[in-house]
Amino acid sequence: HAQQPIIYGQGPFDTFLRGHGLRIECRAPYELEDLRFHLFKDGGYERSAVASQTATFWFRNISQENEGNFTCLYQVGIAGKVQNTSLSDPLEVTVADVVSEAVNLRLSSGPSPCSGRLEVFYNGAWGTVCKDGWGIANGDVVCRDLSCGFAALSTDAAVYGEGR
Protein backbone atom coordinates (compact mmCIF):
# COMPACT_ATOMS: atom_id res chain seq x y z
CA HIS A 1 0.00 0.00 0.00
CA ALA A 2 1.46 3.37 -1.06
CA GLN A 3 1.75 6.12 1.54
CA GLN A 4 -0.25 9.34 1.49
CA PRO A 5 1.53 12.34 -0.16
CA ILE A 6 2.36 15.64 1.52
CA ILE A 7 1.09 18.89 -0.02
CA TYR A 8 2.41 22.38 0.64
CA GLY A 9 2.28 25.84 -0.85
CA GLN A 10 5.44 27.81 -1.47
CA GLY A 11 5.25 31.22 0.07
CA PRO A 12 6.08 32.94 3.33
CA PHE A 13 2.43 33.52 4.25
CA ASP A 14 -0.70 31.43 4.61
CA THR A 15 -2.38 34.09 2.46
CA PHE A 16 -1.17 34.54 -1.11
CA LEU A 17 -1.16 37.86 -2.98
CA ARG A 18 -3.55 38.49 -5.86
CA GLY A 19 -1.69 38.95 -9.13
CA HIS A 20 1.36 37.01 -7.95
CA GLY A 21 2.35 33.39 -8.47
CA LEU A 22 1.53 30.39 -6.34
CA ARG A 23 3.56 27.19 -6.30
CA ILE A 24 1.94 24.07 -4.85
CA GLU A 25 4.06 20.96 -4.39
CA CYS A 26 2.88 17.42 -3.85
CA ARG A 27 5.55 15.08 -2.46
CA ALA A 28 5.65 11.31 -2.24
CA PRO A 29 7.40 9.92 0.86
CA TYR A 30 10.03 8.17 -1.30
CA GLU A 31 11.42 8.44 -4.83
CA LEU A 32 10.02 6.19 -7.55
CA GLU A 33 10.06 6.32 -11.34
CA ASP A 34 7.27 8.13 -13.20
CA LEU A 35 4.76 8.79 -10.45
CA ARG A 36 1.63 10.48 -11.78
CA PHE A 37 0.42 13.19 -9.40
CA HIS A 38 -3.09 14.64 -9.51
CA LEU A 39 -4.05 17.97 -7.93
CA PHE A 40 -7.61 18.71 -6.80
CA LYS A 41 -9.29 21.90 -5.61
CA ASP A 42 -12.40 21.58 -3.46
CA GLY A 43 -12.69 17.96 -4.60
CA GLY A 44 -12.59 18.76 -8.32
CA TYR A 45 -9.73 17.81 -10.65
CA GLU A 46 -7.29 20.66 -11.41
CA ARG A 47 -4.27 19.17 -13.23
CA SER A 48 -1.68 16.37 -13.34
CA ALA A 49 2.09 16.02 -13.52
CA VAL A 50 4.64 13.20 -13.75
CA ALA A 51 7.62 13.25 -11.38
CA SER A 52 9.89 10.88 -9.48
CA GLN A 53 9.10 12.26 -6.00
CA THR A 54 7.78 15.84 -6.02
CA ALA A 55 5.37 17.39 -8.51
CA THR A 56 5.24 21.17 -8.79
CA PHE A 57 2.05 22.92 -9.88
CA TRP A 58 2.40 26.59 -10.86
CA PHE A 59 -0.42 29.11 -10.82
CA ARG A 60 0.49 32.51 -12.28
CA ASN A 61 -1.38 35.76 -11.70
CA ILE A 62 -3.63 34.26 -9.02
CA SER A 63 -7.00 35.69 -8.03
CA GLN A 64 -9.87 34.80 -5.70
CA GLU A 65 -10.80 32.08 -8.23
CA ASN A 66 -7.72 30.18 -7.03
CA GLU A 67 -8.94 30.10 -3.42
CA GLY A 68 -9.97 26.79 -1.94
CA ASN A 69 -8.78 23.59 -0.34
CA PHE A 70 -6.18 21.79 -2.45
CA THR A 71 -5.38 18.10 -2.09
CA CYS A 72 -3.31 15.71 -4.13
CA LEU A 73 -2.67 12.04 -4.67
CA TYR A 74 -0.27 10.03 -6.78
CA GLN A 75 -0.56 6.81 -8.72
CA VAL A 76 2.06 4.11 -8.31
CA GLY A 77 2.51 0.69 -9.90
CA ILE A 78 2.54 -2.09 -7.30
CA ALA A 79 2.69 -5.75 -8.36
CA GLY A 80 1.81 -4.83 -11.94
CA LYS A 81 -1.25 -2.79 -10.97
CA VAL A 82 -1.70 0.98 -10.82
CA GLN A 83 -2.91 2.12 -7.42
CA ASN A 84 -4.05 5.53 -6.18
CA THR A 85 -2.82 6.71 -2.81
CA SER A 86 -5.22 8.32 -0.40
CA LEU A 87 -5.59 12.09 -0.68
CA SER A 88 -3.14 14.37 1.09
CA ASP A 89 -4.28 16.53 3.96
CA PRO A 90 -5.81 19.73 2.56
CA LEU A 91 -3.86 22.91 1.85
CA GLU A 92 -6.09 25.96 2.27
CA VAL A 93 -5.28 28.75 -0.18
CA THR A 94 -6.58 32.25 0.55
CA VAL A 95 -5.88 35.10 -1.87
CA ALA A 96 -5.72 38.70 -0.65
CA ASP A 97 -5.00 42.10 -2.18
CA VAL A 98 -2.49 43.02 0.56
CA VAL A 99 -0.78 40.99 3.28
CA SER A 100 0.87 43.84 5.18
CA GLU A 101 1.94 47.43 4.73
CA ALA A 102 4.56 48.23 2.13
CA VAL A 103 8.23 47.63 2.91
CA ASN A 104 11.07 49.14 0.88
CA LEU A 105 13.40 46.41 -0.37
CA ARG A 106 16.40 46.38 -2.68
CA LEU A 107 19.09 44.01 -3.91
CA SER A 108 22.65 45.33 -3.71
CA SER A 109 26.18 44.27 -4.74
CA GLY A 110 24.88 41.85 -7.40
CA PRO A 111 25.85 41.78 -11.07
CA SER A 112 22.34 42.89 -12.15
CA PRO A 113 19.39 44.79 -10.65
CA CYS A 114 17.65 41.45 -9.98
CA SER A 115 20.46 39.80 -8.01
CA GLY A 116 22.43 40.58 -4.90
CA ARG A 117 22.17 40.93 -1.14
CA LEU A 118 18.68 41.73 0.18
CA GLU A 119 18.38 44.98 2.10
CA VAL A 120 15.41 46.66 3.76
CA PHE A 121 14.93 50.37 4.48
CA TYR A 122 14.17 50.70 8.19
CA ASN A 123 14.50 53.58 10.62
CA GLY A 124 15.96 55.87 7.96
CA ALA A 125 18.73 53.52 6.76
CA TRP A 126 19.30 50.49 4.55
CA GLY A 127 20.23 47.28 6.39
CA THR A 128 20.96 43.70 5.35
CA VAL A 129 18.31 41.05 5.88
CA CYS A 130 19.80 38.12 7.84
CA LYS A 131 17.62 35.04 8.13
CA ASP A 132 18.54 31.44 8.93
CA GLY A 133 16.69 29.00 6.72
CA TRP A 134 16.05 31.58 3.99
CA GLY A 135 14.77 29.64 1.00
CA ILE A 136 13.53 29.85 -2.55
CA ALA A 137 9.95 30.65 -1.45
CA ASN A 138 11.20 33.76 0.38
CA GLY A 139 13.29 34.69 -2.66
CA ASP A 140 10.24 34.29 -4.92
CA VAL A 141 8.29 36.84 -2.86
CA VAL A 142 11.14 39.37 -2.94
CA CYS A 143 11.75 38.88 -6.67
CA ARG A 144 8.06 39.36 -7.48
CA ASP A 145 7.93 42.45 -5.27
CA LEU A 146 10.90 43.90 -7.18
CA SER A 147 9.38 42.93 -10.59
CA CYS A 148 12.14 40.38 -11.18
CA GLY A 149 9.93 37.31 -11.77
CA PHE A 150 10.72 34.16 -9.79
CA ALA A 151 13.94 33.54 -7.86
CA ALA A 152 16.58 31.43 -9.60
CA LEU A 153 18.61 30.96 -6.39
CA SER A 154 18.04 31.96 -2.79
CA THR A 155 20.45 31.29 0.04
CA ASP A 156 21.16 32.29 3.62
CA ALA A 157 24.91 32.40 2.83
CA ALA A 158 26.47 35.86 2.42
CA VAL A 159 27.24 35.35 -1.30
CA TYR A 160 27.30 39.13 -1.96
CA GLY A 161 28.97 40.11 1.31
CA GLU A 162 27.56 40.61 4.77
CA GLY A 163 26.53 44.22 4.30
CA ARG A 164 25.62 46.30 7.31
Task: Locate the domains of the chain by residue range.
Answer: 6-96, 105-145
Q: Which residue has the higher pLDDT, 126 or 102?
A: 126
Averaged pLDDT for residues 35-39: 95
Q: State the chain's mean pLDDT as an integer.
A: 83
- Say if CB 36 and CB 50 are below 8 A apart: yes
Averaged pLDDT for residues 130-147: 76
With residue 68 as reference, give the H or E element that holds it: strand 68-78
Q: In one letter, which amino acid is 89?
A: D
CA distance 76 to 93: 27
CA distance 77 to 82: 4
**Predicted structure pTM score:** 0.59
The highest-level CATH class for domain 6-96 is mainly beta
Rounded to 5 degrees, φ, ψ at 139 are -60, -40
pLDDT at 102 over 80: no
